[in-house]
């Protein structure tokens, strides 16, 4: 598979009156052409900030990308000026934002908002953009044609607004779609429809997807590979089947135990991870997860663990695997 995106030592901070929030603290990962990559973790772990950093949508003040490289098609987009990044943002890389109601402009019709990226990036005429918008509505399974394009966001249900956001992200046939919690606040039936829609679209236009979510169950049916984030860092990376069958990092184990399952009794309580995520203004020394970890050792509070790599593109940052060359040692 061809490497489409490579992120190296990315650090994104926010400067506040209370101190500097180290939202993303030096992460490395890659995305291949046609691949679906999941990013999972608790709220505040840096998932959305990573997506916004890739899109160059971190506003200063208060946020700033302070270090690292984001290479898209071998070009470091952090070195591009605003005019140059505009040719990529929305055209080559698109983002489906978390809350479609706040992302869509309430005073513009759905049609106007769907046509805008086509006119800006593809130089479409108004009539050609209108016809393309109709095609996109059909692609995301919204019936009604022209009548729907003339409506405003408040006239759509939450699931339909999310489909419009997906249609807008797809309009220029991007190479990468970043989907930030695309199923938040939707009922489970609509969630399943949205995920199935993303899966279907991925097969049709061969785009790569970065799916950001706090729910490990959501990535199971869509993603090939998963990154587990904690406190602004990646703590585990694995193919989806490997992650579910044999999670390595104690935090990943905790996340999986917190997922409801059909094979447990109604009286059995879900297991939770004790404690709270760390304050990223002053992260703890050593492994950030050690205050909440059942397997913490003295070294965990003293030294930050490096990544320990295993076969089949697996890696984890945990001292439990020090000296192990494979999963059987």
Cα-based angle 311, 314, 319 (whole degrees, multiple of 5)? 105
Q: What is the pLDDT of residue 260?
A: 72
Q: Please give the biggest Cα pair distance in the chain.
A: 67
Higher pLDDT, 203 or 29: 29
In 33-82, DSSP assigns E strands to 36-40, 63-72, 75-76
How far is the C-alpha of 53 from the C-alpha of 49, rounded, in Å?
6
* Count of Cβ atoms closer than 10 Å to residue 173 Cβ: 12
pLDDT per position as a tens digit, 200-254: 878 777 889 999 988 787 888 789 999 999 999 999 999 999 999 999 999 999 9
- Closest C-alpha to 272, from 287, 291, 289, 253: 253
Average pLDDT, the chain: 89
Q: How confident is the model at residue 67 (pLDDT cuts 50, 70, 90)?
A: very high
Q: Is the CB of residue 70 less than 8 Å from the CB of residue 110?
A: no
Reading the block at residue 119, the tokens are 């006119």
Q: Is the CB of residue 1 less than 8 Å from the CB of residue 7?
A: no
Q: What is the pLDDT of residue 329?
A: 46
pLDDT per position as a tens digit, 297-310: 999 999 999 999 98
Average pLDDT over residues 53-78: 94
Reading the block at residue 122, the tokens are 């593809």
How far is the C-alpha of 67 from the C-alpha of 57, rounded, in Å?
15
pLDDT per position as a tens digit, 248-263: 999 999 998 877 776 6
**Residue at token pair 């996340």:** 255
**Residue at token pair 């606040």:** 185
Residue 264 confidence (pLDDT) above 80: no
How far is the C-alpha of 247 from the C-alpha of 97, rounded, in Å?
29
Residue 316 confidence (pLDDT) above 90: yes
For 225, phi then psi, to 5°, come to -140, 155
């Amino acid at each position: 598979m061809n490497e489409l995106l490579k992120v190296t030592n990315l650090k994104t901070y926010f400067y506040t009156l209370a101190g500097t929030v180290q939202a993303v603290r030096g992460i490395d990962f890659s995305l291949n052409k046609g691949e679906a990559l999941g990013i999972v973790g608790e709220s505040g772990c840096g998932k959305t900030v990573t997506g916004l950093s890739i899109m160059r949508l971190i506003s200063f003040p208060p946020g700033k990308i302070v270090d690292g490289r984001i290479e898209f098609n071998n070009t470091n987009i952090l070195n591009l000026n605003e005019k140059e990044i505009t040719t990529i943002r929305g055209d080559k890389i698109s983002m489906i934002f978390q809350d479609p109601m706040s992302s869509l402009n309430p005073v513009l019709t759905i049609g106007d908002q769907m046509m805008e990226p086509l006119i800006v990036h593809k130089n479409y005429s108004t009539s050609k953009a209108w016809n393309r918008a109709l095609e996109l509505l059909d692609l995301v399974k919204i019936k009604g044609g022209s009548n729907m394009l003339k409506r405003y966001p408040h006239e759509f249900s939450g699931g339909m607004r999310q489909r419009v956001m997906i249609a807008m992200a797809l309009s220029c046939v991007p190479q990468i779609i970043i989907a930030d919690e695309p199923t938040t606040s939707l009922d489970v039936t609509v969630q399943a429809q949205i995920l199935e829609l993303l899966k279907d679209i991925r097969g049709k236009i061969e785009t790569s997807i970065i799916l950001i979510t706090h729910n490990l169950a959501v990535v199971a049916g869509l993603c090939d590979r998963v990154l587990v984030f904690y406190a602004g860092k990646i703590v585990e990376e694995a193919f989806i089947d490997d992650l579910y069958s044999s999670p390595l990092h104690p935090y990943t184990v905790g996340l999986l135990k917190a997922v409801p399952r059909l094979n447990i009794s109604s009286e059995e309580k879900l297991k939770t991870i004790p404690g709270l995520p760390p304050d990223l203004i002053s992260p703890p020394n050593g492994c950030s997860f050690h205050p909440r970890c059942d397997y913490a050792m003295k070294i965990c509070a003293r030294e930050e663990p490096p990544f320990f790599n295993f076969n089949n593109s697996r890696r984890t940052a945990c001292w439990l695997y020090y000296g192990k060359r494979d999963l059987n040692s």
